[in-house]
Structure 1
Amino acid sequence: MTNTLQSTDEQKSIDNKSMQVLLLLIENSGNNVSKEQIINHVWQGSVVNDEILSVSISKIRKALGDNARQPTFIKTIPNVGYCLISDVIPLTENTLSDEQPLNTVNQQTNTLKYVVISGILLLITIISIISFYANNQESKTQNLANISSIAVLPFEDLIKNKDNIYYAEGLSDAIINQLSQVKDLKVISRDSSFNFRANRDPSIIGDSLKVEALLDGNLQQSADQLRVNVRIISTFDGRLLWAKSFDNQDTNVFLLQDQISHEVRKAFQPSSVPQISASTKIDSQAYEWFLMAQYFWRQRTPTSLLKAETYFKHSLELEPNYVDAHIGLAITYGQFHYYANWRAKESVDKGLPHIRQALTLKPNHPMALAAKGMLLTLKASYSENPQPLLDEAQTLFVHSLELEDNATTRHWYSSLLNRMGKEALVIENMEHAIALNPLSASLKNVYSQYLAIRGKVDTAQKLYNRALILEPDRASRIIESTHIFRNTPNSINAIAKWHLNNQGFFEYCSSDEYCEQVVFAYLSIGLDKEANKILARMVSKHDHFKQSLTLINYGRNNELMNAVSLLKQLSKRYPNNYKYKHGVAIAEYRAGLYTQAKESLLDLYPQWQNAHTIDVTTDNYSALTLYGATLLKLNKQESADQLLNNVAQFLHLDKVQDKAQAEMVLAQIYAQLSKPVEAKAHLNIALNLGWLETFDREWWTLKDSHLLKPIMNQIDVKELVATHQENVKQLAKTISLEF
């Protein structure tokens, strides 16, 4: 038996597994077949990952002359599986003749019959692709149903002496919102697609965003008539797939935008687009206020959010039932908590009434459902009975995502899942959000902070560096990076310079988070005077910030048992918080509670119970070093030596992003292994690379390092530490002179 694909002029062979995959798709022609279904059917119990299946699909496509971006045969269904989209004609054995259509799929046996699968004789099948070889000129819309991914670019404003940026971007947003409701169509978020405002090369966009098509257009005006030209282009070959012009002499630009977005959606989904209701007509001035509010809302600064609030209110004064304006204002109030230092309750109390009004007017509006979920998640943070709120929020998010797959919704949903301790789902939704918005520096920044809090610091640093490549001049990067990276002399100087240039920002600490991170930086180098000035201006302080300050004081005063007690309380209150659970183990080790430290580490890493399953990674090497040191204290010499040597060997592979910290951990390992020469050498390298104490990453100084303790009494090590302390004092003095 051979597995061949036969056309009139050539024959191509594929392996047996690939043929089985193709047969399964043929059996289910026109229907989505999940990856799991295919793997279970073809590989039957073998351990196979998605990549193996992708290879088989690639082989089939190559044999058929198919293209993944512009498929004629097999369409990829994002996050699901695959679908055979060509017509399939089942034949009996007697119907085979020399007059078969082109490109018959033919698995040859002595009797020209397929093998029996599950007791049922499969019909010999051919894929009818005559239309593929036809002139293919009958309609520019014929290929849109096969497109599985698209990016919508901002419309170009070609109208002279008139700035229509709000309308041009609003039109793109409306189309993105409509297309996001098309099932199985991946629509890239505006944050990523708008990066190509100045470079509209289809192939570059296709490669960068991994999309099969792009949509763009322009605004033109002749006399009193506005014309909007829209087109959809293949990123594979630059071919025009769809184009249409829309003319409007009416002053109601909102109605025109609604018409355009509906027509575009209809091109992809002809049978299921709701008709435009007359009730959706919005006053042009109200719509313009709305677009301006959106423009400022996206900048997410205290000042821009205030402008957004004002414009949304103006819009609602003219159109009290404008659903999108109610949603926008509610989201703005939610963002005031994160970007303008509002109390959570104030944001929720102002935002929820607008969301309730929006859902009264449009009960199934995807973004209204998501925004309510976001506000309820925020409300749960201060509620005495949060669980009903969290459950309701989850229901809202799930319903919203059923209606529209949106990166912002998945980001908000991840925040809820984080509160619920569902780490796997957090990661799944954040990665899906990034797939929808691959060029969003903001999303990568948020995700990197989440990973860092979960102890995956190295992974977080690499992701954050990719965010910086996308947005190198991000104004908040100096402060945001403190969540991801340790202090260095350069980073402390950058923070001090930013503080100096933004003194007004610190007058009343309009962002608690920013003030907190500057305080930690100054306390890390002993610049208590400047830190206390900021603390005095902070009207409110987050609980986690106050707890970190308490820990720092415990470290300075050597109150080890108090540190243990506080961290245990926090770990119990926040059972899914890696930082607190890991902190308990460190505090216990520092207090000489080695058995408890071991138990705490095994609670965090249960797989370490079996020494043979311990894998050293760029994210866990520091925790493993503490575990090895703990085993030494418990007289598990052989196990400890083997583990610490394995970690050292891994670190010498130079895979860790933070070179200074990797060298510091090597110094700690060799100190524990009673190798003072090596320990001192790596300590010296770490300090030369700019290693600094980093509050609140830790709450002790280098001089009090628990893992370097075995070598701290050596004269040359004391000299190194003394030099380090003097350098830190000099850094603090230099900064203090600038204020």
Structure 2
Amino acid sequence: LGALAKVEGLRVVARTSSFSFKGQNADVTEIARKLNVRNILEGSLRREGNLIRVTAQLINARDGFHIWSDTFERELQGVFAVQDEITLAIVDALKIKLAVAPPARTRQNTEAYDLYLKGLYFSNKSDEQSLRKSLTLFRRALDIDPNFARAWTGIAKDWEWLADAYVRPLEAYPAMRAAAEKAIQLDEKEAEAHCYLGDSMEVLNFDVAGCQAELRRALQLDPNCAIAHLFLAFEGADGGDSEAALAHVRRAVQLDPLSPIVSDFASSVYLTCNRLDDALAEAQRTESLAPNFVYETSPLGRAYREKGMLAESLAIFTKSSAATGVLQPGLAITYAKMGRNDDALRVLEQITDFAKTHYVAGDEIASIYVALGDNDAAFYWLDRAYQERSGSLRGITSQPDFRSLYSDPRFANLVKRIGFDPAKVFAAAKRFNPKN
């Protein structure tokens, strides 16, 4: 899939979504509908000792007819050559319509690649245990093949999702940057590594322009890179360009439609762009994709709250807090919006006590104080988030929770310090709510 995704003119759905059908006896037409694709590539691999047998077929999902099929028998070390042969065969089968060029061949160690694929599986989970298991698998792959660029990218990816949610940013983001830089050093065309490098530049150095340049480079290398589109969606939202944000987030969902991570973050982008119905629908879709998926906060609870559906919001935040074992700031904010300040203060106290022994982003605590009307305390925690390089601090420019601070000069100063233009941020907010 990685090789096919880099073929010019060919849209390939990301591995997270396409492999969600593995082991299922699903109808080809139904799979194509859910993935929004025209053709389906099916395959099977059988291994006996040092021999492998790969069967692959390309199917037109509209009529069920085979466009191409073949069987390959090779020694185990020849598995990567088979990948290239399948890629070239598919390109040849479709080239009349696409006029595409075949990708370059690569050589890898099969044992390292197997560990990489296992690491990739766990890297798409939202809990700390899975992400750390993924990190271990990628490191084991690199013990075998230190020059395996994709494994270095995988390590960068794990640190991206461990950061803020489970690990202090000043520990996680430097590790992410180092892994991304190593991946790019080994293979400059490793598109996803450019995404993580760019994100580290923005978080650690407030280099917004540098981050966006890396994301654009990622899309030059791989137009089908869903994570690049997702990150650019947040860049647009945080920078006051909602049109760009919406265009990129829709493309990210199109490229990886069954990924809970992409769906979860897409809901957040819709929320920041004041597309509340879209945010709610996408958050509900996330829950249908992965009922137990919780990462940092619940976009579904936030969407309900912004729509004034406070009872529903409270139920969601209560459920997600119970699922993670950690009280979510959204629970306190919802209590405050309901006028239940005593309950909000109780949750706030528990969260600040938890923050004495665990990392909690300062901007998350600040959002509770904003809801309670204590702006001085909010700015204390925002400054702490700035000092700690909270990755979610960028969200203050677009999250509805902070819009009541816009009239305070301290807010414009902070927006400027983290690399964004206050005028653009405020102009975008006025389009959403002229009273701001």
Structure-1 residue corresponding to 2:216? 398
Per the alignment, residue 579 of structure 1 pairs with 400
The Cα shift of 1:211 comes to 1.9
Match of 2:202 among 373, 377, 394: 377
Contact preservation (8 Å) 1:454, 1:579? no
Q: Supply the distance in 1 between the matched residues of 2:362 and 2:93 (Cα, whole angstroms).
A: 52
Q: 1:281 maps to what in 2?
A: 108
Q: 2:264: which partner in 1?
A: 445
Instruction: Tell me how far apart the structure 1 counterparts of residues 244 and 320 of structure 2 sit (CA, whole Å).
Output: 37
1:2-56: CA deviations, max 9, x gaps?
xxxxxxxxxxxxxxxxxxxxxxxxxxxxxxxxxxxxxxxxxxxxxxxxxxxxxxx
TM-score with structure 2 setting the length: 0.77
Cα 1:292/1:236, change in 2 over 3 Å: same
Alpha-carbon distance in 1 for matches of 2:377, 2:355? 25
Query: Which has more radius of gyration?
Result: 1
1:492 corresponding residue in structure 2? 314
Number of aligned residues: 394
How has the CA–CA distance of structure 1 residues 431 and 537 changed in structure 2, closer, same or farther, with 3 Å as cutoff?
same
Q: Is the 8 A contact 1:374 1:413 kept in 2?
A: no
* Cα distance change of structure 1 residues 229 and 393 upon mapping to structure 2, 3 Å threshold: same
2:329 pairs with 508, 512, 516, which one?
Answer: 516
CA distance in 2, matches of 1:458, 1:543: 29
Query: Percent identity at matched positions?
Result: 20
2:251 is aligned with 1:422: no
Q: Shift in Å at residue 499 of structure 1?
A: 4.2
Deviation at 1:307, TM superposition (A): 0.6
**Contact persistence 1:258–1:276 (CA under 8 A):** yes
Say if 1:496 and 1:237 are closer, same or farther in 2 by CA, change over 3 A.
closer
Residue 368 (structure 1) aligns with: 193
Counterpart for residue 532 of structure 1? 349
Residue identity matched to 1:398: R
TM-score calculated relative to the size of structure 1: 0.47
Name the CA shift for 1:264/1:538 in 2 (closer, same or farther; >3 Å): same
**Where does structure 1 lack aligned partners over 5 or more consecutive residues?**
1-175, 507-513, 588-601, 608-619, 628-739
The alignment yields a C-alpha RMSD, in angstroms, of 3.7
CA offset at residue 253 of structure 1?
A: 4.3
Query: In the aligned structure 2, how far is the partner of 1:474 from the partner of 1:565?
Result: 31
The answer as to whether partners of 2:310 and 2:334 remain within 8 angstroms in 1 is no
Give per-residue Cα distances to partners, 1:391-449, cap 9 Å, x unaligned.
22222222221221221221122233334333221111111112222334432331222
Deviation track 1:572-631 (CA, whole Å, cap 9, x = no partner) reads: x999536378525899xxxxxxxxxxxxxx966778xxxxxxxxxxxx6xx57x69xxxx
**Structure 2: gaps spanning 5 or more residues:** 387-393, 409-425
| Structure 1 counterpart of 2:354, one-letter code | R
TM-superposed CA distance for 1:454, in Å, is 3.3
Q: 2:275 is matched by which residue type in structure 1?
A: K
C-alpha deviations, 1:255-298, integer Å up to 9, x for none? 54455445544554587325535xx232x322222122111111
SS in 2 for 1:439: coil
Q: What are the Cα deviations for residues 333-381 of structure 1, in whole angstroms up to 9, with x where unaligned?
A: 12211542x23332221122222222222122222323322332333xx
Say whether residues 1:545 and 2:361 are aligned partners: no
State yes or no: 1:248 paired with 2:74. yes
Give 2:390's aligned residue.
Answer: none
Is 2:279 the partner of 1:460? Answer: yes
Which amino acid in the other structure matches residue 374 of structure 1?
D
| CA apart distance, 1:490 | 5.8
Q: Which has the higher contact order (CA 8 A, sep 6+)?
A: 2
1:110-141 alpha-carbon deviations (Å, 9 max, x no partner): xxxxxxxxxxxxxxxxxxxxxxxxxxxxxxxx
* CA deviation map 1:224-282 (0-9, x unaligned): 521010100001211110111111223564554455445544554587325535xx232
Residue of structure 1 aligned with 2:61, choices 235, 238, 248: 235
Cα distance in 2, alignment partners of residues 544 and 219 from structure 1:
48
Q: Is contact 1:231–1:242 with CA below 8 Å preserved after alignment?
A: yes
Question: Do the aligned partners of 1:218 and 1:230 also contact (CA within 8 Å) in 2?
Answer: yes
Q: How does 1:248-327 map to 2 (within 5 A)?
A: 248-251=74-77, 253-254=79-80, 256-257=82-83, 259-261=85-87, 263-265=89-91, 267-268=93-94, 272-277=101-106, 280-282=107-109, 284-327=110-153
